[in-house]
């Protein structure tokens, strides 16, 4: 059975765009203020909280670790859900306003993959609404249809670093893990893909550059463009100066050899 590259599976937050820095953190803080809470998540604190994937899970961790005496009036789950929903409404407005641009090389690579017949999918922790808002406003209303499968948010019981969302996506694609390549930005995302045995290319972000990326096929600062070379931080890009479909096929072939 051939292990040739059939599909790319993209993470969203941190990989398609710097959503944590430009979107989620400021949106959380605006939602807290609008709810009359004096909570402020600094860049440093948010870096710590990002160890927990998922916005609802992150609020819960904050309550437990940083606000143990905070009294929620009523049900804690309902309180978290309301706050998270308010955050995501603000996030969607920020995306629509153009505050969360795609990272270098992302749109070019998606177009090249489509032209080359490489299938596209998404495996993410964030909600479907957040994914579609980002695709629509950063690329266009047609972009959602470029992805054959979008595995998102609460579709699976356990979020990254659990492998569930990758298992879900592989099953929906009807492909084996060795026929795919994941693109991730964080240690949690990498672990999730690797437990599912999907070879993974990492593009680091400010929040994740200190993460453990052992096991990644290659680690880069970003995907690069012809006029903006990518820096190789670990592994081998076969001498390419930016990530295109040929470079990905070579990275994938080395990883599944």
Strand partners, 119: 7
Contact partner at residue 6 from ligand XBP, Mg ion, none, CB < 5 to 8 Å by partner kind: none
Chosen residue from 127, 132, 169, 205 binding ligand XBP by CB under 6 A: 127
252 binds ligand XBP (CB under 6 A): no
Q: Which H or E element spans position 201? A: strand 200-203
Interface residues for Mg ion in 6-25 (CB under 5 A)?
A: 11, 13-14
189 binds Mg ion (CB under 5 A): yes
Q: Per-residue string for binding with ligand XBP, 80-119, x by CB under 6 A?
A: --------x-------------------------------
Q: What φ, ψ does residue 70 adopt, rounded to 5°?
A: -70, 130
Query: In 3-state terms, what secondary structure has residue 184?
Result: strand
CB burial of residue 166 (10 Å; 0-12, 13-18, 19+): buried
CB 121 within 8 A of CB 12: no
**What are the residues whose beta carbons fall under 8 Å from the beta carbon of 132, sequence distance 6 or more?**
144
Chosen residue from 29, 53, 132, 203 binding ligand XBP by CB under 6 A: 53
Give the nearest distance from C-beta 74 to ligand XBP in angstroms. 21
Interface residues for ligand XBP in 5-34 (CB under 6 A)?
A: 11-14, 20, 24
187 binds Mg ion (CB under 5 A): no
**Distances in Å between the alpha carbon of 87 and those of 30, 175, 214?**
7, 35, 33
Which residues in this chain contact ligand XBP in the complex, by CB under 6 A? 11-14, 20, 24, 53-55, 88, 124-127, 130, 160, 186, 188-189
């Amino acid at each position: 059975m051939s292990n040739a590259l059939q599909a790319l599976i993209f993470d969203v937050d941190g990989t398609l765009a710097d959503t944590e820095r430009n979107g989620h953190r400021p949106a959380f803080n605006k939602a807290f203020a609008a709810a009359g809470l004096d909570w402020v998540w600094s860049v440093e604190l948010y870096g710590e909280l990002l160890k927990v994937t998922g916005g609802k899970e992150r609020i819960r961790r904050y309550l437990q670790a940083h606000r143990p005496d905070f009294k929620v009036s009523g049900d804690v789950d309902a309180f978290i859900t309301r706050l998270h929903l308010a955050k995501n409404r603000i996030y969607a407005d920020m995306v629509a306003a153009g505050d969360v641009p795609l990272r270098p090389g992302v749109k070019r690579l998606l177009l090249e993959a489509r032209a080359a017949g490489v299938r596209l999918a998404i495996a993410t922790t964030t909600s479907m609404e957040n994914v579609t808002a980002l695709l629509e406003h950063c690329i266009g209303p047609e972009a959602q249809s470029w992805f054959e499968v979008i595995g998102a948010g609460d579709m699976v019981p356990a979020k990254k670093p659990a492998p569930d969302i990758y298992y879900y996506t592989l099953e929906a694609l009807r492909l084996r893990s060795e026929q795919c390549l994941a693109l991730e930005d964080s240690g949690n995302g990498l672990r999730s893909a690797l437990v599912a045995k999907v070879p993974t290319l990492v593009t680091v972000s400010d929040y994740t550059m200190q993460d453990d990326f052992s096991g990644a096929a290659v680690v880069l600062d970003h995907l690069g463009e012809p006029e903006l070379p990518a820096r190789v931080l670990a592994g081998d890009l076969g001498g390419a100066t930016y990530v295109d479909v040929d470079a990905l096929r070579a990275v994938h072939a080395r990883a599944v050899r």
